Structure 1
């Protein structure tokens, strides 16, 4: 007997319309995004096979990797969890990296997601075969590389997890202890040590207040200014026992609190337009707070407070305790980039030399270029080359000419204009819809049309020209691109993104079909209803029209609960 392929037209012609065929999915990365994809597939898709390859020993991605003192999220803790999965016992307003790791680790356990995950396995290459992907995976415990196959490949590897040493001559000459915030050695004791700290990005801003009370002296090397200060009402602090009791025990209290904070998170887009009242007022507030905390230290004010770019050009961080630490007597600030590392310290661009004989810490971040860290090849194209300068995605979800390849938090995703994790949820939902469409039709391959990608990028670039992100600041939002294009951010708010991708625009995609006839999925003439013994064959006969709205905006009003909120609350902690 000859078995018919699940993809073959002959197999489909014997089945009812929209019969699901099995689908094999490989996901790269078991951080927050990979875990969310596994959860969504398990919840929504039938007949799927999933394997998630994770290079680390544990899940949770960057929250497993980053363990430096003071490491935390700069989003309020009760709003840095899945929309449907609250956590009642956060210790304070900003969750620590250990707490966040525990949250995602527990999420994996609660929903049985570990069955899909292979840790200590790193994807090192992928090649499109014409109908699927051959994926090369290195077992990091044995060093052996094997080939796995899938119908659909999802890259959930993230952007802020490929740490790098700074490109500074002489790093290998340093005789003291050399550390990077993303590869922290917890055995190193900083008590009483003379320490150098390179960088004033998010990790450096979090680290300094944690190490300043321990070290004999800390020399902070800054290449440029930054807007740093918590917004009023969002200063970092621990929750009281009474607050935690109410979160855990009072029905509706935590939900109301989370929604209050989220409304504030979702109202910040106007701040990012150049020359607007919203940006000017926010700048005035931030300027006042920074000057108050720098306590009249004019040199610090002149070196740290930006004058050449607007508030928001670089991602600003709450920075709880950072400015206060800078003015302490055991902290020296050097407003000159490190030109060379010596055996005992650092030489700076202004010619000065600074001894830091004990410990030198590089808080210099990640390679945020979006260029894949391994070859992804389709035909004659390697995505490493295509995205080497200006990574151009389709709505942060896919790349032209790379079939059956989808991304979470790809270029121009919603990562800076509102809550992040709901954007990840929306992207996972979109991927589920694409997988379902592939399963229920005789599709061999799908990829975004190149013209659609070009049009999206043109719209994005036009939008970005009006924002503060286009100001002349160094920012990982620009991904090191050749023309300083904004490659990290979505051109709009997070709520804007949710509406943009809620429905799949199939007209933007190119599909190829098994057997050449796209209508083979119609099958043997029967509906799914007729083959389901539990279904009502007269389900559409009713006493009243109870249909949900068919028009997009009417449906949106139901989804966003229009009419249920009078006078939206702000960002306070009430």
Structure 2
């Protein structure tokens, strides 16, 4: 018998149908997304090789990188509250800690309702250790280029310890590098002239002591809003430079508190208690979309509450009210987690300057109106990230570079892929569910989808796959038709729109997170263009099934006493997946809340306040 080359599809002719071929995957980034991909591949895929290139010395992405006082990641979800821990201002997450976990990987011993960055960093590192994921990760290795060869990718990687560049190859390239990851200095003349200490919120120097210093703070986006209340009690004086109005949230029911020993005991020991608690919070996290519909009763009620709350906390200082409270729709920009920010603005050691900074001088900032303000000790640029989705390195297929293609208007297929870039997949690409509900379950759904695409490649003689140009065009058209009815399309400067007030909404999914989960649960292969090596039906192999390769399997598995098949139709299957009938609605006095039918006792005042607020 003539031996078939494994590189040729002909080798399949001697194998059963759907025999898997080896697949080599490169993943860019070992943050939460990269770790989840490694976990899913290890769990579901056979005969794979994976290398995760990570530019930082350690894994965990944003939880390793961001260390500025009061840091709260703006990607957690939509429950908009910042807090600091008892040690004086370490960063934290504005999602209840028990829900900033993978859906299948609870943690029973969170210290409080909201967790510090150290705890979350430990969670993701423990996850990597528990499942042996570090074997796939190479740290301090930065991907600097990728080129499609016609059958795979050549990837260039810079060793950040030596400065040397090496090459690697893969069949499938996955970009899990994140999009709010490339921090940038503001485009302000004179930054190099400043004689004090210059800091950026995303490149924080923890050795800098702010006590008793004269400090300038540029920016009142999420970073600036979080930094001010953390540093205000420490500094002698702080001058805050603001160009834009912003909604600052302080919603009831989200106050941080530490869990008692008894609460942690119940989470760890009582069967079903923690699960029911997590589910009750997650239902609130998934209820955000109605509040983002422009002119809706939900949005109007929330806006009225926020307006009154901001006025009260600004101590009726009319200038602050007029300049800081927006006229654009609530939610047009992501609500800034604002515990203590508004109160800090009225403290005597805080000066608020409503002007852009035109120039940085040796000892301060000269504003657009010509006024110069002295801040000789420390200048903090809380000016955020490059949110354009434009890749940080060349990704080239044929005569196209994704950096150029996405320079103005990034267009993806369902946040997962780009037209004309074969075997290239993304996690949290443009128009992913990053602001319409829980985030981590969206990452899980995207990695599930990627695993399905990899499995399809392995079990067929596919050379390349890419989303059809027409499918991408139609998805983008639907997204653009949906967005005008939401508050996100209002004229405000937002990273939802790549930092512009006029661009299309490029960051958000046109619907809820639950809507996204149903959208990508099944792969629409009709939206993809496949190219094959040889006859596409070579995968049929030698005429035998996979069942026949396993003598210990049941070769009569379809003979049964009754029809116990799961539903074949999509919506009936959805009812099985979402456990229709397992939840009851408790109502009374015009108020209601959703609870698991199996355990209503676990609902706490936190969840009740949360639901009552969001239900108006």
Q: Deviations over 1:452-474 (max 9, x none)?
A: 00000000000011111111100
The residue aligned with 1:383 is 402
Is 2:390 the counterpart of 1:356? Answer: no
**Structure 1 CA distance, aligned partners of 2:9 and 2:265?**
59
The residue aligned with 1:42 is 42
Which of 385, 390, 404 is 1:371 aligned to?
A: 390
The residue aligned with 1:73 is 93
CA-CA distance at 1:481 after TM superposition: 6.6
**Structure 1 CA distance, aligned partners of 2:218 and 2:239?**
8
CA-CA distance at 1:276 after TM superposition: 1.2
- Structure 2 vs 1, CA of residues 134 and 435 (structure 1 numbering), >3 Å: closer, same or farther? same
**Structure 1 CA distance, aligned partners of 2:442 and 2:254?**
22
Which of 121, 126, 146 is 1:126 aligned to?
A: 146
The residue aligned with 1:534 is 552
Which of 260, 281, 284 is 2:304 aligned to?
A: 284
For the Cα contact (< 8 Å) 1:77–1:90, is it kept in 2?
A: yes
**Structure 1 CA distance, aligned partners of 2:568 and 2:351?**
63
Is 2:527 the counterpart of 1:508? Answer: yes
The residue aligned with 2:295 is 275
The residue aligned with 2:89 is none
CA-CA distance at 1:250 after TM superposition: 3.2
The residue aligned with 1:229 is 249
The residue aligned with 1:94 is 114
Which of 166, 169, 186 is 1:146 aligned to?
A: 166
CA-CA distance at 1:293 after TM superposition: 1.6
The residue aligned with 2:567 is 549
**Structure 1 CA distance, aligned partners of 2:111 and 2:240?**
29
Instruction: Name the Cα RMSD after superposition.
Output: 1.5
**Structure 2 CA distance, aligned partners of 1:486 and 1:5?**
48
For the Cα contact (< 8 Å) 2:246–2:336, is it kept in 1?
A: no
Is 2:475 the counterpart of 1:456? Answer: yes
The residue aligned with 1:499 is 518
Q: Deviations over 1:130-165 (max 9, x none)?
A: 000000011111111111000000000001111100
**Structure 2 CA distance, aligned partners of 1:122 and 1:215?**
37
Which of 154, 172, 175 is 1:155 aligned to?
A: 175
Q: Deviations over 1:412-445 (max 9, x none)?
A: 0000010000000000000000000000011010
For the Cα contact (< 8 Å) 1:235–1:318, is it kept in 2?
A: no
Which of 417, 421, 436 is 1:402 aligned to?
A: 421
CA-CA distance at 1:7 after TM superposition: 4.5
Which of 566, 569, 573 is 2:594 aligned to?
A: 569
CA-CA distance at 1:117 after TM superposition: 0.3
SS, match of residue 258 in structure 1: helix
The residue aligned with 2:202 is 182
The residue aligned with 1:51 is 51
**Structure 2 CA distance, aligned partners of 1:6 and 1:112?**
30
Return 5+ residue gaps in structure 1 as ranges: none
The residue aligned with 1:414 is 433
**Structure 2 CA distance, aligned partners of 1:481 and 1:298?**
28
**Structure 2 CA distance, aligned partners of 1:441 and 1:312?**
45
TM-score when normalising by structure 2: 0.91
The residue aligned with 1:434 is 453
For the Cα contact (< 8 Å) 2:493–2:500, is it kept in 1?
A: no
For the Cα contact (< 8 Å) 1:230–1:317, is it kept in 2?
A: no
For the Cα contact (< 8 Å) 1:67–1:98, is it kept in 2?
A: no
- Structure 2 vs 1, CA of residues 459 and 404 (structure 1 numbering), >3 Å: closer, same or farther? same
SS, match of residue 351 in structure 1: coil
**Structure 2 CA distance, aligned partners of 1:523 and 1:169?**
66
The residue aligned with 2:32 is 32
The residue aligned with 1:107 is 127
**Structure 2 CA distance, aligned partners of 1:286 and 1:269?**
17
CA-CA distance at 1:252 after TM superposition: 2.4
SS, match of residue 548 in structure 2: coil
**Structure 2 CA distance, aligned partners of 1:304 and 1:243?**
40
Q: Deviations over 1:343-395 (max 9, x none)?
A: 11111112222111111111111001100010000011100000110000000
The residue aligned with 1:477 is 496
How many equivalent residue pairs? 572
Q: Deviations over 1:487-509 (max 9, x none)?
A: 00000000000000000000000
- Structure 2 vs 1, CA of residues 91 and 440 (structure 1 numbering), >3 Å: closer, same or farther? same
Return 5+ residue gaps in structure 2 as ranges: 72-91, 586-592, 596-604, 609-616
More displaced, 70-79 or 262-271? 70-79
The residue aligned with 2:353 is 334
